[in-house]
A and B are shown apart, each in its own frame.
Chain A
Amino acid sequence: MSGFRLTLKAPLSARVDASSLLPEALAGVSAADVAALTVPFGTGVALVGDLFEITAGSDEAVVFSGDPRLDYVGSGLAAGEIRVEGSVGVAAGAGMSGGRLVISRDAGDGLAAGLTGGRIEVFGSAGKNVGGPRPGERQGMRGGVVSIAGRVGDGLGARLRGGLILVGGDAGAGAADGLLAGTLAVAGRLGPGAGRGMKRGSILVTTAPEALATGFAEAGPQDFVALKLLARRVPELAALFGGTLSGRAVRLVGNRLAGGEGEILVLS
């Protein structure tokens, strides 16, 4: 077993950039080697061994005990698995291109920013800008799957370009801002101002959103064969809405101020 378990010795007193602690980077090294690595800590650096107790893992995965100041967990992950038993800070899984990241509690802002592939599962809630662009980027998440059991903050799926985001709880204000393509599914309520500048893509919800951004038009209830196919092909999407999709939904077309090729489907 080449994996490691990194248990924090004490709650973190400053923010840590954990982007270098990836399974690929740690494969084939000893626990002492891992302890001797440095990570950015506050405005300086710290030895991994000073912050974490390092033990061999039970499988190939890298397992962290979480902390809300542990940032960039799994950022840049291309293969392998990272599990966090607790919460993480900002930008977890940012720029991930493959592999799997599992967080047992909450994630901070910028979860899955610029994701291009792989899977992220969060069992608690997540902060702002889930699946959005990283600084300087024109597009947000471009592929992969993100599933969040709880609620998410504002700005869900901003400039999303591809992939699937599943939210078990409510979403904050301004979701799907400038969304380009891809799919959002929100089992709870969609916050106000969603869909501003949304060009294409789909948002699946169960309750009609209250205050969408200007530019949407209701096209009435329709039967969608595609929804039934989708439920069969993507079981986790169906599971989010109770196991089955009826195929019937009210279609809100928009955002017509940005081309109007997207849609919000209110499932019935």
Chain B
Amino acid sequence: MRTRVTGGRVFDPANGIIDQVRDVVIEDGRIIADPGPGGSEEVVNASGCIVLAGGIDLHSHIAGGKVNLGRLLMNEDRALFPEPFGDFCGCGGGRAAPTTHATGCRYSQMGYTAVFEPAVVGANARHAHLEMADIPNIDTGGFLVLGNDDFLLRLIAMGEGQQAINDYVAWMLKATQSCAIKIVNPGGINAFKFNGRNLDLDEAGPFYELTPRRILNTLQRAVTELGVPHPIHLHGCNLGIPGNVKTTLATMGATEGFPLHLTHIQFHSYGTEGDRHFSSGAAEIAEAVNAMPHISVDVGQIMFGQTVTASADLMSQYRNHNIADPKKWIGMDIEMDAACGVVPFNYRDTSFVNALQWAIGLELFLLIEDPWRVYLTTDHPNGGPFTSYPHLIRLLMDKPFRDHHLRQIHKAARSHTRLESISREYTLEEIAVVTRAAPARTLGLKDRGHLGPGARADVVLYEDQPDRETMFAHPRIVMKDGEVVVVNGEIVALTEGRTYAVHPPSDPLMDKRLERWFDEAVGLKSSHYQIADGEIRGGQGPEIVELKP
């Protein structure tokens, strides 16, 4: 079965195709080189539309323990946004903490076809995979959280050498079927368990006496030597603390030349200037990112309204629990290897701090020059639900619209931001980069994020209209692996996605060693901890991402 998408303006920056009217031909779920006319073809008319690859969100908390705790805590979220009754829906719902079904439907209704869960804790990995398998219409993958787990800290503290660390990281990636390594507040969550309330980059933590810098560098080296395509996905120290811009700049300087991804950097770009001792550090951060080609970031833009923050960074969540709105929160340990804090937030444009956070996020988007190194995220649900992406895209693409919203935020915050003086507007090409091509490239997904021959046939047709928010909220057609799943912004079919993982090789001796460790120190056996390929998506197995040579 061949399908020809014809007459649309194609934006495929990965292949250097910008705004060209051309056909995209699909066969058996893949894009193929145009074989010319002839043969039986189904023709999809894309005139008046722009044609993009399926959207990729590389940082969105959609599955796993803390997400489920978020659902538990935010019951009212589902009551406020119930799933519409109909053929494909009718149960669940929610915006800030949506059910799996609602997650898949809302994402594919915006033209997204792949979403990555950025914080899978080893002990919860099976749960995360079961939830990911339950999300329709999108491909998924998980980033494994390391950096506060006792086994790793012990290896580093005992000076075991890089090879042992590499074997452990490889073993863990395969055991949890994850596709990258995430570090959340390196050493800080462990320090919190020893009553530490903050831990700076070069401060030795309690007990193991390791600095976050050392943990970061060790894992950076491991990921690079193993050939994992995505660099360390770092949620750095001092999240949300005014003045943390210094820590963030120091972290960028601490990479020893290894590539590094700094996630939700908006929360790490705060200065202490002004009479309220809270100011924007976006300009300094953007300048540093522009100067360092091995750094990439995603923004974690905050959007006004009710949401719930769910993070493994219990240290910072504990700091914030007093400002929870509504007043309830959850904080817990997970198997002594990680932790989790769930705190509801209601970001208000009438609040100085929230308004400035909003402006800082937009400043970062607009001041970082290379769109290939900045990815569009709200750190769903921490900065705002992912359903706000179309609004965010319009804020980036439409200067008058942005200024209109800027005039409505807290007055003092307005005078603390240079947003009004920034005239940059994202082009469609840049949107295609930050939401598609760039995330695919950093994750090492060679057949995604572009429309060249061999790519997965995830194709989205957006009707070109001046209101970019409406445009990106209601695509005319979304195809997942060549199958039409959304028409005019409505779900018409549910398909099953796939799950990405990396399987770097590890020394078999590490198996033996970890078997002993699990017997001694962990609540379950190593053989039960490991997730077999057959457990992924009901027997479908993971899609293995190629390692870098």
Contacts and interface: CB of A to CB of B under 8 A. Distances in A.
A40 B91 CA distance: 11
A76 to B, nearest CB: 11
Interface residues of B, number: 13
B85 A134 contact: no
A265 to B, nearest CB: 30
A45 interface: yes
A136 B75 contact: yes
Contacts of A38: 85
A134 B78 CA distance: 12
Contact of A136 (B79, B86, B91): B79
B76 A43 contact: no
B328 A138 contact: yes
A137 B78 CA distance: 12
Contacts of B73: 136
Contacts of B328: 138
Interface string B77-92: 1010000011000110
Q: Counting chain A CB atoms within 10 Å of each CB, which of B79, B326, B327 scores highest?
A: B79
A44 interface: yes
A138 B90 CA distance: 27
Interface string B54-92: 000000000000000000011111010000011000110
B180 to A, nearest CB: 33
Contacts of A137: 76, 326
B79 A134 contact: yes
Contacts of A220: none
B326 A138 contact: yes
Contacts of B75: 135-136
Q: Counting chain B CB atoms within 10 Å of each CB, which of A38, A40, A136 scores highest?
A: A136
Contacts of A138: 326-328
A136 B77 contact: yes
Nearest to B87: A44
B contact patch SS: loop
Q: Counting chain A CB atoms within 10 Å of each CB, which of B75, B77, B79, B85 scores highest?
A: B85
A contact patch SS: loop
Contact of B90 (A44, A134, A135, A136): A44
A43 B90 contact: yes
B327 A44 contact: no
Interface in A126-147: 134-138
B70 to A, nearest CB: 11
Contacts of A136: 73-77, 79
Given A136-B74, A138-B326, A138-B328, A45 B79 contact: no
Nearest to B328: A138
A18 to B, nearest CB: 14
Contacts of A40: 85
A137 B77 CA distance: 10
Contacts of B79: 134-136
B91 A135 contact: no
B93 to A, nearest CB: 12
Contacts of B85: 38, 40, 43-45
Contacts of B76: 134-137
A202 B444 CA distance: 64
Interface in A30-45: 38, 40, 43-45
Contacts of B77: 136
B89 to A, nearest CB: 10
A44 B89 CA distance: 9
B97 to A, nearest CB: 10
Nearest to A46: B85
Nearest to A41: B85
A108 B76 CA distance: 20
A264 B380 CA distance: 47
A136 to B, nearest CB: 3
B86 A45 contact: yes
Interface of A: 38, 40, 43-45, 134-138
Interface of B: 73-77, 79, 85-86, 90-91, 326-328
Given A43-B91, A136-B75, A137-B76, 12 more contacts: A38-B85, A40-B85, A43-B85, A44-B85, A44-B90, A45-B85, A134-B79, A135-B75, A135-B79, A136-B73, A137-B326, A138-B328
6 smallest A-B Cβ distances: which pairs?
A136-B75, A136-B76, A135-B75, A45-B85, A40-B85, A43-B90
12 contacts: A40-B85, A43-B85, A43-B90, A44-B85, A45-B85, A136-B73, A136-B75, A136-B77, A137-B76, A137-B326, A138-B326, A138-B327
